[in-house]
Structure 1
Amino acid sequence: MTGEADLAADVVIVGSGIAGGHAAFKLAGAGVKTLVLEAGPHLSRNEAVSNFVKNPEKGPNAPYPSVPYAPHPVDGKEDDFYVQGGPDQFVGSYTRILGGTTWHWTGFADRLRPADFEMRTRYGVTEDWPITYDDLVSHYQEAENMWGVAGDPDYDWGSPRLEPYPQPPIPSSYMDQQVEAGLRKVGLHMAQFSHARNSVPFDGRPPCCGNNTCVPICPIQAKYDGSVHTLKAEALGARIVTKALATKILVDPDRKVTGIRVRHPDGSESVATGRIYVIACHAIENPRLLLNSRSETMPNGVANSSGIVGRYLLSQWNQDVYGLTENPVYPYRGPQQTSGIIEFRDGEFRRERAAVGTSFMNDGWSGNQDAVKLAGELARQGYRGHKMISALREQISRHLRLNSSAETLGDRDNRIELDDSLLDSAGIPRPKVYFKVDDYTKKGLAYAADASKKVLRELGVKDIKTDQPYLSSAIIGGTTRMGKDPKTSVVDTDLRSHDHSNLFILGTSTHITCPVNAPTLTVAANALRASEKIMQDLGTP
């Protein structure tokens, strides 16, 4: 990483995750002088694994400590970061670290379906995206080739392909194979997910060896994360400055962005300058930075003449259905998820209820009753020594959990704002969140939960348990949405700000809806597409 002495470039990018890293890689590869500002540190994988082992809280951010100069949500203490303002508790998890939040993602590498872009046209609900599947298809393929996506050549999850997946599929887990029998009995079918996880050696990274800690960390980097191409961008000449918190976007009277004010851990400040600026620091920090850049000439913040920045916040609505099977299904062998149910993801039913992604969780009852909690329960029942070990093995081998995640549609009232009365440890107003899940989403999740119970009954589960539905910690989007009308959106279809011609905003914050196919590949594809527009602006061939 370079130091803070030289903060000038043709393109200044705030954020080093998938969006910022892919843009930097594309631009640096074309010879564009590129600067990447990352608020958090550059953490080594060994450090992260050590943090995970030592941390008793095994949530998504367990390996990644929140640092005072660039804080992020802490597992189990989300309300110390978010100011809750709505009926449904928002617990979106992200991390400030070189490479971004994909350090702790599951690794799903699926495209959105064509129907996901056309919900109003096809199903009469919500609104269409201002771009189509065809606008992204070549960049989807480009991103898949960069990552080395592993997928089943016989099933594309409803997203037509022009080329095969770069790698063969990740094998289904033993548990998936047992669940399939129960699915068939209730008329349902499963397929293997496409993964940003190596099934064979690729790009100097090893194949998956089944550590089963995909969330929060792959200890061997068989799972792709954003640091891969951020560091490739550095090798191509991009400058990367870590521990550089962007606090304000500076704009001149002609509405041109002129700089990014940066604060360093010692409290000193500097200004990064360029010709074009890219904000790519996730769906909470993107609007937070824009709103915190208020001034006398822009009282609503940067890129916010529409008043839409922070609004249309997206997530997913989740529920677990779980129990003990009659026969062992042996979870914890292989990745945490390898397959899911086909039928709930798309169809005419989306006129009435949300699409749902239902997966077979290969990490037992984690999040509800993991091995540590079970050991405590057995100890209270008098189990000790070898007797306890035998009981743990016998029960955990029969742990089966189906997780369902329902899509959410854009709602103007779901939003983040700045709470000026409450500052975080870096002195930035904390995000105040309002979120209310609508009936459309609730109906979709209820349908999937009922179907999951039927599957478990067919597998001999007698005492079926469910948890209360909850907002996903993994998915955040929608807070700087794209559109063709400057009055109702923040960026245009090229992801350029309607208000500032030399400002681009990347990431899930530009998404219109939150379908069940994972958003990360779409983030990468859009970042690559926007980079081509930036190069055109710069006159770069």
Structure 2
Amino acid sequence: MPDTLSADVVVIGSGICGALAARKLAQAGASVLMLEAGPRVSRAQLVHNFRRSARKSDLVAAYPYSPLAPHPDYQPADNGYLVQAGPYPYKPEYLRVVGGTSWHWAAQAWRLMPNDFRLASLYGVGRDWPIGYDDLEPHYFEAETIMGVSGPIDNGSPRTRPFPMDPVEPSWLEQRFRDRLAPEFHMITNTTARNSRSYDGRPACCGNNNCMPICPIDAQYHGGLAAESAERSGVRLIPQAVVYQLEHDAAGRIVAARYYDWDKVSHRVTAKSFVLAANAIETPKLLFLSASGKYPDGLANRSGTLGRHLMDHPSSAITFEVDEPLWPGRGPVSPCSIQQFRDGDFRADHAGFRVDLSNGSRVASIAADLIKAGVSGTDLDARIRHRAAREVSIKNVLEQLPDPDNRVTLSDRKDALGLPTPRLSYSFDDYVHRGMAAAKQVYTRIAERMGGTNIRFSPDGQYSNNQHITGTLSMGHDPATSVTDAVGRAHDHANLWMVGTGVMPTVATCNSTLTAVALALRSVDAMLKSA
């Protein structure tokens, strides 16, 4: 076996949260080793892969896959990495590569609203956070400055300082929706980690319209950039290092991590502190794999809540044709949204939600639909032009309450290294269904305001997800009901920290990445104070 490696801090996972936590630790003088199960990737190769791919809408098609560090893949068929226990399939599309899943995100960087931290106290549902908005506000700004966030003043969350950048200029589609829906609906440009001007050596958005699965010019921030900045700050990054076990001493302190390289050779790494940043599915998987005689149910699981309260943002949608040509497909794919349904007394009864307008080009899907229907020749050309200029899609980003039965456990299936794969149990409650019904009423009214025809709704009860895997490592004051404390330290292990969306007790109504990064930066402050 190779010699044991050592560092002050070992960070497991090189996604945006792990990489920025590692970067901050290294800048404070710590020696940091970051382990990543997947391979290194480059933007140039990913863009090449995307342009050659026949599946342009597939978020993972451009990214390398290895059975030694598998990730979920559903096209052309489900690879079965995630075992579905039901009753509803949950199919996240996360990556295991250097930089993690934010390589293929839409870069939306909303803050939570103050009331999101007090859902149980205010509305009698869900859980309260062990911290409030004011506790996180300085770290929100720290994250926004690193990532380069642009946004409008009226963004729904209080600020002590302005955004680093003004919003990206609105497209004609956005302008017309905003003007025609007012004053009934207030549509604003999205807050995003996307440059509206040159920032941090990266160019402004030039409207390529393939933000997902890859921005071809790095106008939007992502975990690959975070990993590069971590290495420039002195972090040592080892890719293709699949961590399969954490070791602990008699007092419960973590003393080492074991990983396989891609030659299936085992290595051992020691450190003073360990940070888990794999994601909200892979992190509980590792903690379950690390079960011992002292901790038979897995590490950090005295409460029995490890892996529980799995949440995402379920979505429904409406597609219709507007009564004027608006030509979606120029600029960011998710440019603007309606925020007024994110919070209110109604949350005691049904889920809050945000309404997002899609700006993705409709040409390919419309052409395929018409060809399948037998349309050809000049008629095909004319009908593609007509529909592609007018067809739009709107979806919601809807909150889901923490449910202990929605969970991650280990399956009986093994991967190529002989490690059990994750097993997911997932369902939706009436709180979600009632929220979807409220959203459908909003969709109907929007379509009416826009002169909508050829209206199609998502089938009732069939919801997509948004890849915002949240809640399986929930923070809280009480060790009997939570995995980590208010700064992300495991209740059961004094030198084990967790960063990422998993520590969020509730999912609220906005994309989770910015909040997760802010929490990670806050955790590093606590680590440095406790050192």
Structure 1 and Structure 2 fold alike (TM over 0.5): yes
1:503 and 2:487 are equivalent in the alignment: no
Q: How many angstroms does 1:387 deviate by?
A: 4.5
The CA deviation string for residues 297-317 of structure 1, in whole angstroms up to 9 with x for no partner, is 221111111111110101111
The 8 Å contact of residues 323 and 401 in structure 1, kept in 2 or not, is answered as yes
The answer for the alignment partner of 1:71 in structure 2 is: 70
Q: Distance in 1 between matches of 2:319 and 2:140?
A: 35
Of 374-383 and 114-123, the range deviating more from structure 2: 374-383
The 8 Å contact of residues 149 and 197 in structure 1, kept in 2 or not, is answered as yes
The 8 Å contact of residues 277 and 504 in structure 1, kept in 2 or not, is answered as yes
Secondary structure in structure 2 of the residue aligned to 1:85: strand
The 8 Å contact of residues 106 and 211 in structure 2, kept in 1 or not, is answered as yes
Secondary structure in structure 2 of the residue aligned to 1:10: strand
Q: How many angstroms does 1:511 deviate by?
A: 0.7
Secondary structure in structure 2 of the residue aligned to 1:275: strand
Q: How many angstroms does 1:379 deviate by?
A: 2.9
1:14 and 2:12 are equivalent in the alignment: yes
1:32-431 to 2 correspondences below 5 Å: 32-57=30-55, 58-76=57-75, 77-78=77-78, 80-153=80-153, 155-157=154-156, 159-184=157-182, 187-364=184-361, 371-385=363-377, 387-419=379-411, 421-431=412-422
Q: TM-score, normalised on structure 1?
A: 0.94
Q: Distance in 2 between matches of 1:259 and 1:6?
A: 9
The 8 Å contact of residues 124 and 351 in structure 1, kept in 2 or not, is answered as yes
Secondary structure in structure 2 of the residue aligned to 1:205: coil
Q: Distance in 2 between matches of 1:209 and 1:181?
A: 24
Matched AA of 2:428: V
1:457 and 2:454 are equivalent in the alignment: no
Matched AA of 1:426: L
1:529 and 2:522 are equivalent in the alignment: yes
Q: Distance in 1 between matches of 2:25 and 2:196?
A: 29
Distance 1:455 1:503, change over 3 A: same
The CA deviation string for residues 514-534 of structure 1, in whole angstroms up to 9 with x for no partner, is 111221111111111111122
The answer for the alignment partner of 2:29 in structure 1 is: 31
The 8 Å contact of residues 257 and 268 in structure 2, kept in 1 or not, is answered as yes
Q: How many angstroms does 1:119 deviate by?
A: 0.7
Q: How many angstroms does 1:117 deviate by?
A: 0.2
Secondary structure in structure 1 of the residue aligned to 2:271: coil
The CA deviation string for residues 110-132 of structure 1, in whole angstroms up to 9 with x for no partner, is 11111000111222222211111
The 8 Å contact of residues 315 and 471 in structure 1, kept in 2 or not, is answered as no
How many pairs align? 526
Matched AA of 2:522: R
The 8 Å contact of residues 453 and 464 in structure 1, kept in 2 or not, is answered as no
Q: Distance in 2 between matches of 1:380 and 1:132?
A: 53
The CA deviation string for residues 193-247 of structure 1, in whole angstroms up to 9 with x for no partner, is 1110000000111100111111111011101002222211211211000011111
Q: Distance in 2 between matches of 1:254 and 1:342?
A: 48
Secondary structure in structure 2 of the residue aligned to 1:8: strand
Q: How many angstroms does 1:9 deviate by?
A: 0.4
The 8 Å contact of residues 4 and 268 in structure 2, kept in 1 or not, is answered as no
Distance 1:447 1:295, change over 3 A: same
Q: Distance in 2 between matches of 1:235 and 1:379?
A: 51
> Which 5+ residue runs of structure 2 have no aligned equivalent?
none
The answer for the alignment partner of 2:425 in structure 1 is: 434
Distance 1:49 1:6, change over 3 A: farther
Q: Distance in 1 between matches of 2:251 and 2:121?
A: 39
> Which 5+ residue runs of structure 1 have no aligned equivalent?
365-369
Matched AA of 2:214: I
Percent of pairs identical after alignment?
Answer: 38
The answer for the alignment partner of 2:510 in structure 1 is: 517
Of 173-182 and 196-205, the range deviating more from structure 2: 173-182
Q: How many angstroms does 1:62 deviate by?
A: 1.8
Q: How many angstroms does 1:442 deviate by?
A: 1.4
The answer for the alignment partner of 1:367 in structure 2 is: none
Q: How many angstroms does 1:386 deviate by?
A: 5.0
Q: How many angstroms does 1:463 deviate by?
A: 2.1
Q: Distance in 2 between matches of 1:435 and 1:222?
A: 35
Of 48-57 and 345-354, the range deviating more from structure 2: 48-57
Matched AA of 1:66: Y
Q: How many angstroms does 1:377 deviate by?
A: 3.5
Of 193-202 and 355-364, the range deviating more from structure 2: 355-364
Q: Distance in 2 between matches of 1:391 and 1:5?
A: 66
Q: Distance in 1 between matches of 2:180 and 2:427?
A: 34
Q: Distance in 2 between matches of 1:67 and 1:473?
A: 24
Distance 1:152 1:12, change over 3 A: same
Q: How many angstroms does 1:44 deviate by?
A: 0.7
Q: How many angstroms does 1:180 deviate by?
A: 2.4
Matched AA of 1:133: Y
Distance 1:146 1:493, change over 3 A: same
The 8 Å contact of residues 171 and 338 in structure 1, kept in 2 or not, is answered as no
Q: TM-score, normalised on structure 2?
A: 0.96
Secondary structure in structure 2 of the residue aligned to 1:163: coil
Over aligned residue pairs, what C-alpha RMSD do you find? 1.6
Matched AA of 1:516: T
Of 326-335 and 423-432, the range deviating more from structure 2: 423-432
Q: Distance in 2 between matches of 1:343 and 1:522?
A: 20
Q: Distance in 1 between matches of 2:5 and 2:171?
A: 48
The 8 Å contact of residues 344 and 356 in structure 1, kept in 2 or not, is answered as yes
The 8 Å contact of residues 78 and 91 in structure 1, kept in 2 or not, is answered as no
Q: How many angstroms does 1:347 deviate by?
A: 1.1
Q: How many angstroms does 1:291 deviate by?
A: 0.5
The answer for the alignment partner of 2:473 in structure 1 is: 480
Q: Distance in 1 between matches of 2:494 and 2:254?
A: 8
Secondary structure in structure 1 of the residue aligned to 2:17: helix
Secondary structure in structure 2 of the residue aligned to 1:246: strand
Q: How many angstroms does 1:385 deviate by?
A: 4.9
Q: Distance in 2 between matches of 1:229 and 1:375?
A: 38
Q: How many angstroms does 1:391 deviate by?
A: 2.5
